[in-house]
Amino acid sequence: MKRTHTCGELTKTDIQQEVTLCGWVQTRRDHGGVVFVDLRDRYGITQVVFDPSHNKNVHSKADKLGREWVLQITGKVSLRPKGMENSKLKTGEIEIMTDHLEILNIAETPPIEIEDNLEAGEDTRLKYRYLDLRRPSMQKKLMFRHEIMHATREYFKQNQFVEIETPILVKTTPGGARVFKTPSRVHPGKFYALPESPQIYKQLLMVAGLDRYFQIPKCLRDEDLRADRQPEFTQIDVEMSFVEEKDIQDMIEGLFKYLFKTVLNKELPTPFSRLTFYDAMSKYGSDKPDLRFGLEFEDVTEIIKHSDFGVFKSAADKNGHVFCLNAKGAGGFSRTELEEIIDIGKRHGLGGVAWMKVNGTVLESNIVKYFSAEVQKQLIEKIKAQDGDLLLFAADEFEKAANGLGQVRLHIGKKLNLIKDEWKFLWVVDFPLYEQVEDKWTARHHIFTHPKDEDLDKLETDPGTVRGKMYDVVLNGWELGGGSIRIHRKDVQARVCQVLGMTYEEAEKTFDFLLNAFKYGAPPHGGIALGLDRTTALLSGIADIREVIAFPRNKAAENPMDGSPQEWNKEFLDDLHMKLDVVKKQ
């Protein structure tokens, strides 16, 4: 080993010991002819002293050292002079009086500062990621990610799960997100798909009787660009046999409890609260509500039916909903502030956001004239409006109205500083199994999701009201993951397919090897997938998942460091029996 210690461990108890350290020059300072170097490695910083009165030869060598040069130094651990201690560093009471210096490598001036409070553009940081990652705060994030991965693996192993690697080269299945495809060189005209998730393979492991599976795999999706989307991401992937929804939920709550204890040293209360999809939407306007603050909606459709306000009435008449949010104490909002709110609503699909201010016991707004005194009274009661409140309304079909006002709620929560610093986990459950797209029913999740037992009877008669055995786990307004109990019996699968206008035989053709496997004794099973990137980011208190990925891509799915994706050349294409067809498409 080229060192006896790291730069993060020497203290007063090591005084007089001869040590060898390796690391990078964080700073070099010259004080009255003595050179002080802060030597940095992953473990910390140690002050290294080159004193000509101690060792002239080494001092003269130290004179030329530059930032980020790589050194090996040997010397004695000494107490720093009184008053020169640095209480911020673990090693702040000592320094090394250097007797030997070896320059392991020189360095050009780094294009970004190796400082935690770095101000640099994203593409610069990504291009020089190997320098960006030298910053202690970045290293801490990667080590924190490792802690989470490791604790996750410990937890599942303790619970009799087997970690099993599923393939990276797979077959496409229809639907779902777009998948990457890689041409086969040895099988001209054929390709492998890259997995968007191990879904089918983990279900096959249940058919194989492995009983409890987990994996922390890379998943890949060739989707359209979006700022917070990475074409590759990491999942905590879980599947269990002979279980119902609550078994999976209990297991995942146990995981988070274990993670909080192990990596944050915090007690996380369980069980998590639960909201149905319907309640989450109609109270918070989101299927991943942030429960760190209130501002719950009220459904005022029934009251509003008796108003003369056309927008509300026509929504209500078309089977839509009118939701009202009471922004407590926001009655003093300026016209600009109100317009900002309306704008948010519009950007999220609403025609507009209606508002009323509460002045004493009276409602004021440009639309109150359409609301009779009786209607106003009912409104005030229902929404518990008080002097100085601001009522905000959205009217449209259920999901659209709820979602738009949900975004307004988030805005108000932030604006009024209502968001508490706490961890609010919850389960959102009972999602609708189907949604109607152009008169046809389509699966909201995937066709293997099991309907709620009590809704099985409605499959043929009222599919729109059939709920699935589905659950999302949500933290502070972010979806960490979701899952479902899967259909394991042919009779149920056939009925679910029929609603989608597909015979079982057609489904068999499409999902051939999975449905074929199910013939030979599939157990009841279900699972969940959690986003590791998002989980790590949230538990680190960060919003951007790129901060917890070693080599992430930018918003254009490019890596400014290695320059991928790269241009094809003829040799590569020939090898794969492919030609470009770009001109035509552009």
Q: Which is nearer to a copy of itself, 378 or 554 (CB)?
A: 554
Q: Which is nearer to a copy of itself, 265 or 586 (CB)?
A: 586
Distance CA 212, CA 420 (A): 37
Q: Rounded to the nearest whole angstrom, what is the least distance from the CB of residue 421 to a copy of itself in the complex?
A: 28
**Which residue intervals of 308-396 are DSSP H helices?**
310-317, 335-347, 373-382
Using CA atoms, how far residue 123 sits from 542, 555, 560, 565, in Å, is 19, 10, 6, 15
Distance CA 152, CA 177 (A): 27
Q: Which is nearer to a copy of itself, 198 or 432 (CB)?
A: 198
Q: Rounded to the nearest whole angstrom, what is the least distance from the CB of residue 133 to a copy of itself in the complex?
A: 4
Q: Which is nearer to a copy of itself, 140 or 420 (CB)?
A: 140
Q: Which is nearer to a copy of itself, 254 or 329 (CB)?
A: 254
Q: Which is nearer to a copy of itself, 251 or 353 (CB)?
A: 251
Count Cα atoms within 13 angstroms, Cβ side, for 430: 13
Amino acid at the residue 304: I
Q: Rounded to the nearest whole angstrom, what is the least distance from the CB of residue 86 to a copy of itself in the complex?
A: 21
Closest CA to 290 of 305, 303, 275: 275
Q: Rounded to the nearest whole angstrom, what is the least distance from the CB of residue 125 to a copy of itself in the complex?
A: 12
Q: Rounded to the nearest whole angstrom, what is the least distance from the CB of residue 553 to a copy of itself in the complex?
A: 8
Q: Which is nearer to a copy of itself, 2 or 88 (CB)?
A: 2
Three-class SS state of 407: helix
Amino acid at the residue 56: K
CA 128 to centroid of chain Cα atoms? 24
Q: Which is nearer to a copy of itself, 2 or 369 (CB)?
A: 2
Query: Look-up: residue for tokens 């029996």?
Result: 577
Running DSSP on this structure, what letter comes out for residue 261? I
Q: Rounded to the nearest whole angstrom, what is the least distance from the CB of residue 460 to a copy of itself in the complex?
A: 22
Q: Which is nearer to a copy of itself, 88 or 570 (CB)?
A: 570
Q: Rounded to the nearest whole angstrom, what is the least distance from the CB of residue 225 to a copy of itself in the complex?
A: 6
Q: Rounded to the nearest whole angstrom, what is the least distance from the CB of residue 518 to a copy of itself in the complex?
A: 8
Q: Rounded to the nearest whole angstrom, what is the least distance from the CB of residue 161 to a copy of itself in the complex?
A: 9
For the record, the structure tokens of 157 come out as: 């192993």
For residues 533 and 545, the answer to whether their CB atoms sit within 8 Å is yes
Distance CA 327, CA 412 (A): 7
DSSP line for 420-466: -SS--EEEEE--BSEEEETTEEEESS-TTBPBPGGGGGGTTT-GGGP
Q: Which 3-state string (H, E, C) describes 354-376?
A: EEEEEECCEEECCCHHHCCHHHH
For the record, the structure tokens of 81 come out as: 């002079």
Q: Rounded to the nearest whole angstrom, what is the least distance from the CB of residue 23 to a copy of itself in the complex?
A: 8
For residues 61 and 18, the answer to whether their CB atoms sit within 8 Å is no
Query: Look-up: residue for tokens 């107490």?
Result: 79
Q: Which is nearer to a copy of itself, 265 or 520 (CB)?
A: 520
Q: Rounded to the nearest whole angstrom, what is the least distance from the CB of residue 534 to a copy of itself in the complex?
A: 15
Running DSSP on this structure, what letter comes out for residue 538? H
Q: Which is nearer to a copy of itself, 232 or 340 (CB)?
A: 232
Give the H/E segment covering residue 238.
strand 232-241
For residues 198 and 234, the answer to whether their CB atoms sit within 8 Å is no
CB atoms within 10 A of CB 209: 9
